[in-house]
Amino acid sequence: EAQVTQNPRYLITVTGKKLTVTCSQNMNHEYMSWYRQDPGLGLRQIYYSMNVEVTDKGDVPEGYKVSRKEKRNFPLILESPSPNQTSLYFCASRWGRDAYGYTFGSGTRLTVV
Amino acid sequence: GQQVMQIPQYQHVQEGEDFTTYCNSSTTLSNIQWYKQRPGGHPVFLIQLVKSGEVKKQKRLTFQFGEAKKNSSLHITATQTTDVGTYFCAGPTGTASKLTFGTGTRLQVTL
C-alpha cells in the first residue's frame, strides 16, 4: 500500500531531551516536507526537501533539523525541544511534477513538558 | 511573506444545505490545491487547479480558480454528514515543494 509512515504517533518528552520523529515513504517521491499544525494557525511548513541531500527551510524552521540521506526517509530532529514545540506534526511526500498533491502521514502528536 | 487566507473559519450547516469556502492569496499563484482533513485525521489531497478561471467538479464538490489566480473557492452542493472536516487550500510559494496552506475552514454538518 502506498503510504507515508511516521513514528511515533504520540510522544511526551521533557524540555531539552533530543528526539527524532521518523518519516518514510514507499512511493519513490522526490519531494518531502514536514508541517506542524496548531489550533487557529493551520498547517505551517517546517522544512522541505526536493531530493536526496537537497533541503530548505519552510516558514517555521527554528528549533528543527532535517536530513535527506535516502530518498525514502526524511527524519525531523528536535535537538533541544521546548514547550512551544508541542504540536501535531505531519510528514508528507509527493512527486516532483506539479500535477499531484502531497500524501500525508498519520501525524505525530508531540507534547514537550 | 506570502499569505493564504480562508474564510469563513467555521461554518455549521444542516444536511442538504450548500457550503462554500473562499481562499485568497496575497500574490499570484501558479496553481492551487485543496485538501480535506477529517476530525482526528490527516490532510487528504482533493484536487489541483492550474489555469486561470479553471472550474473542476468532483461529484458534489465544485472547485474554482480565479481569473487573476489569486483566489479560489470550493463549493459543496447538498452537504452530507460525510462532508464534515476542515478544508484547506494551499499554494506554492517559491519552489514547487514549498507549499503554503491556508488557515482552513471547518465544516460541521448536522441532521
Report CB contact under 8 Å: B104, A42. yes
What is the pLDDT, as a whole number, of residue B93? 80
Report CB contact under 8 Å: B42, A104. yes
Which DSSP category does A73 fall into?
B
Question: What strands, in cross-sheet order, belong to the sheet with B71-76?
Answer: B4-7, B19-25, B71-76, B61-65, B55-58
Report CB contact under 8 Å: B98, A101. no
Local confidence band at A9 (pLDDT 50, 70, 90 cut-offs):
very high
> B54-89, pLDDT tens digit by residue?
999 999 999 999 999 999 999 999 999 999 999 999
* CA A26 from centre of chain: 16
**Min distance B42 CA to chain A CA atoms (Å):** 6
Could you say which residues from 78 to 107 on chain A have a Cβ atom under 8 Å away from some Cβ of chain B?
90, 92, 94, 96, 98-107
Could you tell me if A43 lies within 8 Å of chain B, comparing CB atoms?
Answer: yes
Report CB contact under 8 Å: B88, A31. no
A111 forms beta bridges with A12
The SS3 of residue B83 is: helix
Q: Cα separation of B11 and B15, whole Å?
A: 12
Average pLDDT, chain A: 94
Report CB contact under 8 Å: B95, A98. no
Phi-psi region of B16 (alpha: psi -120 to 50; beta: other; left: phi over 0): left
CA dihedral (A78, A82, A83, A84) positive or negative? negative
Does the structure show a pLDDT above 80 at B8? yes
> A60-73, pLDDT tens digit by residue?
999 999 999 999 99
Q: Which of A59, A99, A101 sits opposite B35 (nearest CB)?
A: A101
At B70, which amino acid appears?
K
What is the pLDDT, as a whole number, of residue A47? 96
In 3D space, the residue among B65, B73, B90 whose CA is nearest the CA of residue B18 turns out to be B73
Q: Which of B33, B48, B98 sits opposite A45 (nearest CB)?
A: B98
